[in-house]
């Protein structure tokens, strides 16, 4: 541990704070927008989708800005924006101010990842860099897990707005930590211009092979995104407000942490796209499990004892079962996706394109959250919009929501098979033409 300088540990500590703040807030963002601010389910979904999509679209641009102003100035700016943004959500839950606060948080959050990953690259030697990044990703998962764990008692005991107070306070602590301990980072000698970033962005969007792959893989992440888009409202409306979407969602990082190394080792001899396809076909099965709660309830009743220790609602049990399979699917896909993506990029330009490999999250968040709003309105509506006579029957078909996402996942898996066959055929023809030439 002594091989890593203070700024390395400072960066990881504040990354943990930022992830805890973000996931504490984000797990209930659609509930906050509906129940506190007053947006309906459709508007809450679109606003949340655009917000989260922006966090994946902006980093190449904010990264270029950080190179220009210096990492220390950038990270101070980021945590200043985050502290203010979460504080506004806490103190001023009015529509215009909330939209403004979300934009502020989006900008602040988009600065953090390129700065922290860039810092680790600058302060570690080749000998310890790989381990340094493994520490970073471990910290990311600990922060995400901790944030959602704290969010549940805060929401139940103090209310949704106080979750934003928690996020604001720990981002302010991170700001103070950065101010005193984040030192000794020099500006990059080579600085990317915004023009270069925009040109790379345009190249990806106009490369039919790459943008097709990104859109297909988005189908997987549309389902994954329902942990935040659909599940919080779905479980609290069908089971009750004391249900814990925060802790249910934590099943995903727990499964990934336990199994990802083992599954990656198990599939190391498979082609990247083969491993990805396994995960893509697991994903719709996870959604079908979530949809099957009514069958379990018909068999075993409305409360099921688990080893005589605790009791849980069938909906909760099947959500957890589905999320376990989501985590397993992620273990097959995530470690191999960028490897496969890089193979689709023009030879010699892999580095230019790889920075935009996560654009699937941009599309998945916009589409996944947007679809969620309409499905919730149709099958699991806001109880405030119902009459007393409607409430007993309003959620009878709520589980149908998950059949839609199972269909999206299955379509994406089939499209990946077609994509593989088409691109391999094109590559073989091109290789033959090159040999003839």
Q: What's the CA gap between 214 and 171, in Å, rounded?
A: 32
Examine the pLDDT at 437 and tell me if it is beyond 70: no
- Let me know whether 239 and 168 are in one domain: no
Is 238 contained in some domain? yes
In the chain, pLDDT over 70 holds for what percent of residues? Answer: 96
| pLDDT band, residue 6 (cuts 50/70/90) | confident
Q: Which residue has the tokens 């302060």?
A: 123
Name the more confident of 10 and 205.
10
Residue 356, pLDDT above cutoff 90: no
What pLDDT does 308 receive?
Answer: 73
pLDDT given at position 284: 94
Cα-flanking dihedrals φ and ψ of residue 311, to 5°?
A: -115, 145
Are residues 178 and 77 in contact, defined by beta-carbon separation less than 8 angstroms?
Answer: no
Q: Left, alpha or beta for 352 (phi > 0: left; psi -120 to 50: alpha)?
A: alpha
* Residues 79-100 pLDDT 10s: 999 999 999 999 999 999 999 9
Average pLDDT over residues 144-166: 95
Q: Are residues 234 and 308 in the same domain?
A: yes
Rounded Cα distance, 221 and 168, in Å:
28
- What is the torsional sign of CA 7, 12, 13, 19? positive
> What integer is the mean pLDDT of 55-60?
89
pLDDT of 153 above 90: yes
Give the pLDDT score at 349: 65
Greatest alpha-carbon span in the chain: 76
Structural tokens at position 215: 């859109």
Dihedral angle computed from the Cα positions of residues 268, 273, 278 and 281, in that order, rounded to the nearest 10 degrees: 170
Q: Are residues 176 and 241 in the same domain?
A: no
Q: What is the mean pLDDT of residues 357-377?
A: 93
Are 33 and 163 found together in one domain?
yes
Domain CATH for 153: 1.20.1250.20
Residue 26 lies in a domain: yes
Q: How far apart are CA 76 and CA 67, in angstroms?
A: 14
Of 12 and 300, more confident: 12
Q: For the residues 227-247, what does the mean pLDDT come to?
A: 95
Compute the average pLDDT of residues 11-22. Answer: 95
In terms of Cα–Cα distance, which of 28, 62, 42 is closest to 241? 28
Q: Is the residue at 197 inside a domain? A: no
Domain boundary among 147, 174, 192: 192
Shared domain for 170 and 262, answered yes or no, is no
The reply to whether 5 and 145 lie within a common domain is: yes
245-253 mean pLDDT: 93
Least confident segment among 87-91, 191-195, 260-264: 191-195
pLDDT exceeds cutoff 70 at 352: no
CA 136, CA 114: separation in Å to the nearest integer? 13
Which of 63-67, 150-154, 304-308 comes out lowest in average pLDDT?
304-308
Distances in Å between the Cα of 396 and the Cα atoms of 318, 390, 402 are 16, 11, 14
Average pLDDT taken over every residue of the chain: 90
Q: What are the pLDDT digits (tens) for 288-343?
A: 999 999 888 888 877 787 777 778 899 999 999 999 999 999 989 987 887 788 77
Does residue 114 share a domain with residue 141? yes
Q: What is the pLDDT of residues 263-296, one digit of tens each?
A: 888 888 888 889 999 999 999 999 999 999 988 8
Report the pLDDT value the prediction gives residue 266, as an integer from 0 to 100. 87
User: 188 and 150, same structural domain?
Assistant: yes
Query: Looking at per-residue confidence, does 294 or 417 come out higher?
Result: 417
Q: Quick one: 216 and 180 in the same domain? A: no
Residues 342 and 260 in one domain: yes
Domain around 175: 1-192
In a domain, 14, yes or no: yes
Q: Specify whether 399 is located in the same domain as 252.
A: yes
For the stretch 115-143, pLDDT in tens is 888 888 888 887 877 788 778 888 888 99
Query: What pTM was estimated for this model as a whole?
Result: 0.92
Cα–Cα distance between 105 and 240 in angstroms, integer?
A: 30
Q: Which of 194-198, 351-355, 390-394 has the lowest mean pLDDT?
A: 351-355
The domain total for the chain is: 2
Instruction: Flag whether pLDDT at 350 surpasses 80.
Output: no
Of 156, 173, 192, which marks where a domain is finished? 192
In a domain, 101, yes or no: yes
Closest CA to 51 of 216, 225, 202: 225
pLDDT at position 223: 94
Q: What is the pLDDT of residue 264?
A: 84
Return d(Cα 302, Cα 238) in angstroms, integer.
11
Residue where one domain finishes, among candidates 131, 164, 192 = 192
What single DSSP character describes residue 186? P
User: How is residue 316 written in tokens?
Assistant: 């909760």
Whether residues 47 and 173 share a domain: the answer is: yes
The mean per-residue pLDDT over the stretch 361-376 comes to 96
Q: Identify the pLDDT of residue 190.
A: 64
């Amino acid at each position: 541990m002594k091989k890593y300088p203070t700024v390395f540990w400072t960066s990881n500590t504040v990354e943990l704070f930022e992830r805890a703040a973000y996931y504490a807030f984000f797990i209930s963002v659609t509930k906050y927008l509906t129940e506190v601010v007053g947006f309906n389910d459709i508007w809450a979904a679109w606003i949340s989708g655009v917000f989260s999509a922006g966090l994946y679209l902006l980093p190449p641009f904010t990264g270029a800005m950080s190179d220009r102003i210096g990492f220390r100035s950038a990270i101070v700016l980021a945590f200043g924006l985050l502290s203010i943004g979460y504080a506004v959500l806490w103190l001023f839950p009015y529509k215009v101010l909330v939209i403004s606060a979300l934009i502020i948080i989006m900008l602040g959050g988009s600065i953090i990842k390129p700065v922290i990953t860039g810092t680790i690259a600058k302060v570690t030697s080749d000998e310890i860099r790989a381990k340094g990044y493994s520490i970073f990703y471990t910290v990311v998962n600990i922060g995400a897990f901790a944030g959602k764990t704290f969010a549940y008692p805060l929401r139940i005991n103090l209310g949704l707005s106080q979750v934003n107070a928690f996020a604001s306070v720990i981002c302010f602590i991170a700001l103070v930590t950065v101010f005193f301990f984040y030192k000794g980072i020099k500006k990059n000698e080579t600085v990317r211009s915004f023009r270069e970033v925009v040109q790379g962005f345009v190249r990806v969007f106009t490369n039919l092979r790459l943008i097709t792959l990104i859109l297909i893989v988005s189908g997987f992440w549309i389902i994954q995104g329902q942990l935040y888009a659909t599940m919080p409202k779905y479980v609290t409306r069908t089971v009750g407000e004391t249900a814990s979407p925060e802790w249910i969602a934590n099943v995903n990082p727990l499964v990934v942490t336990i199994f990802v190394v083992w599954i990656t080792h198990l599939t190391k001899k498979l082609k990247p796209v083969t491993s990805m396809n396994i995960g893509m076909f697991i994903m719709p099965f996870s959604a079908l499990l979530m949809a099957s709660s009514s069958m379990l309830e018909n068999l075993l009743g409305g409360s099921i004892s688990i080893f005589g220790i605790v009791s849980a609602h069938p909906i909760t049990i099947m959500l957890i079962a589905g999320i376990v399979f989501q985590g397993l699917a992620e273990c097959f896909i995530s470690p191999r996706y960028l490897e496969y993506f890089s193979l689709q990029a023009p030879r010699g330009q892999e580095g230019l394109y790889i920075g935009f490999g996560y654009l699937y999250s941009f599309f998945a968040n916009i589409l996944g959250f947007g679809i969620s709003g309409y499905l919730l309105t149709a099958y699991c509506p806001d109880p405030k919009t119902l009459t007393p006579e409607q409430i007993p029957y309003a959620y009878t078909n709520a589980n149908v929501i998950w059949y839609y996402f199972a269909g999206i996942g299955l379509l994406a898996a089939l499209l990946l098979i077609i994509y593989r066959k088409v691109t391999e055929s094109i590559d073989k023809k091109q290789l033959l033409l090159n040999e003839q030439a």
